[in-house]
Amino acid sequence: MGIEIERKYLVTSDAWRAAADGPGLLIRQGYLASGRGCTVRVRVRGRDAWITVKGPRTGATGAEFEYPIPHADAMELLDSLCEKPLIEKTRHLVSRAGCVVEIDEFHADNAGLVVAEVELASEAQTLDLPEWIGQEVTGDARYHNSSLVRRPYSQWARVE
């Protein structure tokens, strides 16, 4: 069974940019289905593409199954079957204390939102978080990418 253990945080400044590994990679993703805590996502990064099924989460842990698919198929799914608007973001990688921090800088309808995600070996794993990491939003459904499709960040009155 595929398991993902991940914590998500708001990013409070651009200080991470100095440690980023290159210019980042553009990601486009969309959702074929979401509900009852489960999602089916299509993602394209460069010439690579995947379909991912995610199950309900308990804390930072949830089921995740990801499979490569042909790029042309992914593009057709994004254009014709996925819920709109699509998620568009640039992912930057920062290595920190034995972990890789993924910084997602959102574009289009979610411009202005920047979050950091860290995948863990266990929920008990401790992290040495850099100063540019702010509030943890792991359990806040507003920050799930599938939620950002239905209510983009640009529609939020303010972040609470």
Q: Return the CATH number at 66.
A: 2.40.320.10
Q: pTM (2 decimals)?
A: 0.91
Q: Is 160 a domain residue? A: no
Residue of 9, 31, 67, 153 marked catalytic: 31
Give residue-wise pLDDT tens across range 5-25: 899 999 999 999 999 998 999
Domain hosting 142: range is 3-155
Looking at the structure of the chain, the number of domains it has is 1
Give residue-wise pLDDT tens across range 105-142: 999 999 999 999 999 988 888 888 899 999 999 999 99
Give residue-wise pLDDT tens across range 50-108: 999 999 888 888 899 999 999 999 999 999 999 999 999 999 999 987 889 999 999 99
If you search the block for the tokens 């996925």, which residue do you land on?
Answer: 82
Is 153 marked active-site? no
Q: Is the dihedral of CA 147, 110, 66, 69 positive or negative?
A: positive
Q: Is 28 a domain residue? A: yes
For 8, residues 6+ apart whose C-beta sits below 8 A from its C-beta are: 115, 116, 117, 136, 137, 138, 143
Q: Is 137 a domain residue? A: yes
